[in-house]
Amino acid sequence: MHPIAERGFGETVDAYRRSRPTYPPASVVWLAAALRIGPGATVVDVGAGTGKLTALLEPRGPTLLAVEPLESMRQAMADELPGVAVVEGLAEALPLADASVDAVVVGQAFHWFDLSRALPEFHRVLRPGGSLGVIWNELDTSRDWVADLDAIIAVPRTGTPHPSAARTADLGGWFDRRRLHKFAHSHLHDRASLLDRVGSMSFIAVLPEPKRDSVLASVAALVDSRPELDANAFELPYVTVGFTARRSGHRGPR
Protein backbone atom coordinates (compact mmCIF):
# COMPACT_ATOMS: atom_id res chain seq x y z
CA MET A 1 0.00 0.00 0.00
CA HIS A 2 1.25 3.49 -0.83
CA PRO A 3 2.71 4.88 2.44
CA ILE A 4 0.99 8.26 2.10
CA ALA A 5 -2.38 6.58 1.56
CA GLU A 6 -1.78 4.26 4.51
CA ARG A 7 -0.87 7.08 6.92
CA GLY A 8 -3.18 9.77 5.62
CA PHE A 9 -6.40 7.78 5.28
CA GLY A 10 -5.77 5.82 8.45
CA GLU A 11 -5.77 9.04 10.47
CA THR A 12 -8.77 10.79 8.87
CA VAL A 13 -11.53 8.18 8.66
CA ASP A 14 -14.22 10.23 10.40
CA ALA A 15 -13.53 13.32 8.31
CA TYR A 16 -13.40 11.17 5.17
CA ARG A 17 -16.77 9.62 5.93
CA ARG A 18 -18.40 12.98 6.72
CA SER A 19 -17.02 15.16 3.98
CA ARG A 20 -16.28 13.05 0.92
CA PRO A 21 -18.85 12.97 -1.88
CA THR A 22 -20.67 9.86 -2.95
CA TYR A 23 -21.55 9.27 -6.65
CA PRO A 24 -24.49 10.63 -8.68
CA PRO A 25 -27.41 8.25 -9.28
CA ALA A 26 -26.95 8.30 -13.07
CA SER A 27 -23.38 7.07 -12.71
CA VAL A 28 -24.50 4.15 -10.54
CA VAL A 29 -27.21 3.20 -13.04
CA TRP A 30 -24.62 3.29 -15.83
CA LEU A 31 -22.08 1.23 -13.85
CA ALA A 32 -24.63 -1.37 -12.78
CA ALA A 33 -25.95 -1.78 -16.33
CA ALA A 34 -22.50 -2.05 -17.89
CA LEU A 35 -21.32 -4.64 -15.34
CA ARG A 36 -24.68 -6.43 -15.03
CA ILE A 37 -24.78 -5.84 -11.27
CA GLY A 38 -27.96 -7.26 -9.81
CA PRO A 39 -29.39 -10.33 -8.09
CA GLY A 40 -27.30 -13.39 -8.80
CA ALA A 41 -24.10 -11.43 -9.53
CA THR A 42 -21.05 -11.56 -7.29
CA VAL A 43 -19.23 -8.23 -7.05
CA VAL A 44 -16.02 -7.25 -5.26
CA ASP A 45 -15.38 -3.61 -4.36
CA VAL A 46 -11.60 -3.19 -4.17
CA GLY A 47 -10.13 -0.44 -2.00
CA ALA A 48 -13.65 0.05 -0.69
CA GLY A 49 -12.75 2.62 1.98
CA THR A 50 -15.74 3.50 4.14
CA GLY A 51 -18.17 2.03 1.61
CA LYS A 52 -19.20 5.08 -0.41
CA LEU A 53 -19.64 3.03 -3.60
CA THR A 54 -20.54 -0.23 -1.87
CA ALA A 55 -23.57 1.40 -0.23
CA LEU A 56 -24.94 2.45 -3.62
CA LEU A 57 -24.56 -1.02 -5.11
CA GLU A 58 -26.03 -2.97 -2.18
CA PRO A 59 -29.70 -2.13 -2.95
CA ARG A 60 -29.29 -3.66 -6.41
CA GLY A 61 -29.14 -7.09 -4.84
CA PRO A 62 -25.76 -8.60 -5.78
CA THR A 63 -23.59 -10.63 -3.47
CA LEU A 64 -21.09 -8.00 -2.38
CA LEU A 65 -17.62 -8.38 -0.93
CA ALA A 66 -15.58 -5.32 0.09
CA VAL A 67 -11.79 -5.52 0.18
CA GLU A 68 -10.00 -2.79 2.15
CA PRO A 69 -6.45 -2.77 3.61
CA LEU A 70 -7.01 -0.28 6.46
CA GLU A 71 -8.60 -1.59 9.65
CA SER A 72 -10.07 1.81 10.57
CA MET A 73 -11.89 2.03 7.24
CA ARG A 74 -13.06 -1.58 7.45
CA GLN A 75 -14.56 -0.83 10.86
CA ALA A 76 -16.28 2.30 9.56
CA MET A 77 -17.81 0.28 6.72
CA ALA A 78 -18.91 -2.51 9.06
CA ASP A 79 -20.70 0.09 11.20
CA GLU A 80 -22.48 1.59 8.19
CA LEU A 81 -23.10 -1.57 6.14
CA PRO A 82 -23.50 -4.53 8.50
CA GLY A 83 -24.94 -6.69 5.73
CA VAL A 84 -21.83 -6.47 3.53
CA ALA A 85 -18.84 -8.75 4.05
CA VAL A 86 -15.62 -6.76 4.35
CA VAL A 87 -12.17 -8.34 4.44
CA GLU A 88 -8.59 -7.17 4.66
CA GLY A 89 -6.72 -7.22 1.40
CA LEU A 90 -4.90 -5.34 -1.34
CA ALA A 91 -5.73 -4.88 -5.01
CA GLU A 92 -2.37 -6.49 -5.76
CA ALA A 93 -3.13 -9.62 -3.68
CA LEU A 94 -6.86 -10.25 -3.48
CA PRO A 95 -8.05 -12.84 -0.93
CA LEU A 96 -10.30 -14.47 -3.54
CA ALA A 97 -10.32 -17.68 -5.55
CA ASP A 98 -9.74 -17.79 -9.29
CA ALA A 99 -12.82 -17.04 -11.43
CA SER A 100 -14.97 -16.33 -8.35
CA VAL A 101 -16.63 -12.97 -9.18
CA ASP A 102 -18.65 -11.45 -12.01
CA ALA A 103 -17.50 -7.85 -11.57
CA VAL A 104 -14.67 -5.90 -9.96
CA VAL A 105 -15.47 -2.30 -9.03
CA VAL A 106 -13.16 0.43 -7.76
CA GLY A 107 -14.33 3.78 -6.39
CA GLN A 108 -11.79 6.60 -5.90
CA ALA A 109 -8.87 4.21 -5.33
CA PHE A 110 -7.60 3.02 -8.72
CA HIS A 111 -4.82 5.62 -8.93
CA TRP A 112 -3.22 4.20 -5.76
CA PHE A 113 -2.80 0.69 -7.18
CA ASP A 114 0.31 -0.87 -8.68
CA LEU A 115 -1.42 -1.76 -11.93
CA SER A 116 1.31 -4.14 -13.04
CA ARG A 117 0.15 -6.37 -10.16
CA ALA A 118 -3.47 -5.32 -9.64
CA LEU A 119 -4.72 -5.84 -13.19
CA PRO A 120 -3.56 -9.48 -13.35
CA GLU A 121 -5.30 -10.01 -9.99
CA PHE A 122 -8.55 -8.54 -11.28
CA HIS A 123 -8.29 -10.74 -14.36
CA ARG A 124 -7.60 -13.78 -12.18
CA VAL A 125 -10.62 -13.41 -9.89
CA LEU A 126 -13.07 -12.52 -12.66
CA ARG A 127 -15.05 -15.21 -14.40
CA PRO A 128 -14.88 -15.33 -18.22
CA GLY A 129 -17.08 -12.52 -19.54
CA GLY A 130 -16.68 -10.53 -16.31
CA SER A 131 -15.87 -6.82 -16.24
CA LEU A 132 -13.99 -4.11 -14.40
CA GLY A 133 -15.67 -0.83 -13.47
CA VAL A 134 -13.76 2.18 -12.14
CA ILE A 135 -15.37 5.41 -10.94
CA TRP A 136 -14.02 8.52 -9.27
CA ASN A 137 -14.76 12.20 -8.58
CA GLU A 138 -12.61 15.05 -9.85
CA LEU A 139 -13.00 18.71 -8.86
CA ASP A 140 -14.78 20.66 -11.59
CA THR A 141 -12.16 23.33 -12.15
CA SER A 142 -14.24 25.06 -14.82
CA ARG A 143 -15.57 27.12 -11.88
CA ASP A 144 -13.10 29.87 -10.94
CA TRP A 145 -13.24 29.33 -7.20
CA VAL A 146 -12.80 25.57 -7.59
CA ALA A 147 -9.74 26.19 -9.79
CA ASP A 148 -8.38 28.36 -6.97
CA LEU A 149 -9.09 25.56 -4.47
CA ASP A 150 -7.34 23.07 -6.73
CA ALA A 151 -4.31 25.36 -6.95
CA ILE A 152 -4.07 25.46 -3.14
CA ILE A 153 -4.01 21.68 -2.84
CA ALA A 154 -1.82 21.10 -5.89
CA VAL A 155 1.39 22.06 -4.07
CA PRO A 156 1.20 19.49 -1.25
CA ARG A 157 -0.08 16.87 -3.72
CA THR A 158 3.30 16.83 -5.48
CA GLY A 159 4.64 13.29 -5.71
CA THR A 160 1.34 11.50 -5.06
CA PRO A 161 -0.92 10.05 -7.76
CA HIS A 162 -3.95 12.01 -8.99
CA PRO A 163 -7.35 10.35 -9.62
CA SER A 164 -7.36 11.69 -13.18
CA ALA A 165 -4.47 9.33 -13.96
CA ALA A 166 -7.11 6.60 -14.26
CA ARG A 167 -8.38 8.21 -17.48
CA THR A 168 -5.30 7.13 -19.42
CA ALA A 169 -4.23 4.07 -17.43
CA ASP A 170 -2.76 1.29 -19.55
CA LEU A 171 -4.84 -1.85 -18.97
CA GLY A 172 -1.94 -3.94 -20.19
CA GLY A 173 -3.94 -6.32 -22.37
CA TRP A 174 -5.75 -7.80 -19.36
CA PHE A 175 -8.98 -5.97 -20.32
CA ASP A 176 -10.66 -5.05 -23.62
CA ARG A 177 -13.22 -2.57 -24.93
CA ARG A 178 -12.72 0.24 -22.47
CA ARG A 179 -15.59 2.77 -22.35
CA LEU A 180 -15.30 6.15 -20.60
CA HIS A 181 -18.25 8.18 -19.25
CA LYS A 182 -18.61 11.48 -17.38
CA PHE A 183 -21.35 12.84 -15.13
CA ALA A 184 -22.01 16.20 -13.44
CA HIS A 185 -22.00 16.00 -9.66
CA SER A 186 -21.79 18.19 -6.56
CA HIS A 187 -21.54 17.90 -2.80
CA LEU A 188 -23.09 20.26 -0.25
CA HIS A 189 -20.62 21.84 2.15
CA ASP A 190 -20.31 24.53 4.73
CA ARG A 191 -17.02 26.18 5.60
CA ALA A 192 -16.14 23.62 8.29
CA SER A 193 -16.97 20.57 6.19
CA LEU A 194 -14.88 21.85 3.28
CA LEU A 195 -11.95 22.08 5.68
CA ASP A 196 -12.70 18.48 6.69
CA ARG A 197 -12.80 17.55 3.00
CA VAL A 198 -9.41 19.06 2.29
CA GLY A 199 -7.92 17.78 5.54
CA SER A 200 -9.01 14.23 4.69
CA MET A 201 -6.80 14.21 1.60
CA SER A 202 -4.02 11.80 2.44
CA PHE A 203 -1.18 14.00 1.23
CA ILE A 204 -2.44 16.87 3.37
CA ALA A 205 -3.16 14.72 6.42
CA VAL A 206 0.49 13.60 6.55
CA LEU A 207 1.92 17.13 6.43
CA PRO A 208 3.61 18.51 9.54
CA GLU A 209 1.00 20.39 11.56
CA PRO A 210 2.19 23.94 10.69
CA LYS A 211 2.09 23.18 6.96
CA ARG A 212 -1.27 21.46 7.21
CA ASP A 213 -2.68 24.40 9.16
CA SER A 214 -1.36 26.77 6.51
CA VAL A 215 -3.14 24.87 3.72
CA LEU A 216 -6.40 24.82 5.67
CA ALA A 217 -6.09 28.52 6.46
CA SER A 218 -5.73 29.23 2.74
CA VAL A 219 -8.89 27.22 2.02
CA ALA A 220 -10.81 29.09 4.74
CA ALA A 221 -9.60 32.41 3.36
CA LEU A 222 -10.73 31.38 -0.12
CA VAL A 223 -14.27 30.65 1.10
CA ASP A 224 -14.39 33.91 3.03
CA SER A 225 -13.18 35.92 0.04
CA ARG A 226 -15.73 34.65 -2.50
CA PRO A 227 -19.04 36.52 -2.35
CA GLU A 228 -20.81 33.75 -4.30
CA LEU A 229 -20.15 31.30 -1.45
CA ASP A 230 -22.35 31.27 1.61
CA ALA A 231 -20.09 29.89 4.34
CA ASN A 232 -23.08 28.03 5.79
CA ALA A 233 -24.10 26.17 2.62
CA PHE A 234 -22.57 25.92 -0.85
CA GLU A 235 -22.11 23.28 -3.52
CA LEU A 236 -18.66 21.97 -4.44
CA PRO A 237 -18.95 20.85 -8.08
CA TYR A 238 -17.33 17.70 -9.38
CA VAL A 239 -17.04 15.75 -12.58
CA THR A 240 -17.65 12.08 -11.90
CA VAL A 241 -15.64 9.99 -14.36
CA GLY A 242 -15.71 6.26 -14.88
CA PHE A 243 -14.75 3.52 -17.25
CA THR A 244 -15.72 -0.08 -17.77
CA ALA A 245 -13.70 -2.78 -19.50
CA ARG A 246 -14.35 -6.42 -20.28
CA ARG A 247 -11.98 -9.16 -19.06
CA SER A 248 -9.74 -10.32 -21.91
CA GLY A 249 -10.07 -13.92 -22.99
CA HIS A 250 -6.29 -14.32 -22.93
CA ARG A 251 -3.92 -13.91 -19.99
CA GLY A 252 -2.14 -10.61 -20.15
CA PRO A 253 -0.39 -8.73 -22.95
CA ARG A 254 -0.34 -10.37 -26.36
Mean pLDDT of successive 10-residue stretches along the chain, which has 254 residues = 57 77 97 98 96 97 97 92 96 98 97 95 98 97 96 87 88 92 96 93 89 96 94 95 93 58
Which pTM was predicted? Answer: 0.91
pLDDT at position 5 is 58
Q: Are 148 and 172 in contact (CB under 8 A)?
A: no
Q: How far apart are CA 36 and CA 43, in angstroms?
A: 10
Q: How far apart are CA 68 and CA 49, in angstroms?
A: 6
Q: Which fold has domain 3-137+163-186+237-247?
A: Rossmann fold (3.40.50)
* Bridge partners of residue 244, in order along the sequence: 133, 179
Q: Which amino acid would we find at residue 183?
A: F
pLDDT at position 147 is 97
CA distances 86 to 75, 77, 248, Å, are: 9, 8, 27
Residue 148's SS3 state is helix
pLDDT at position 160 is 84
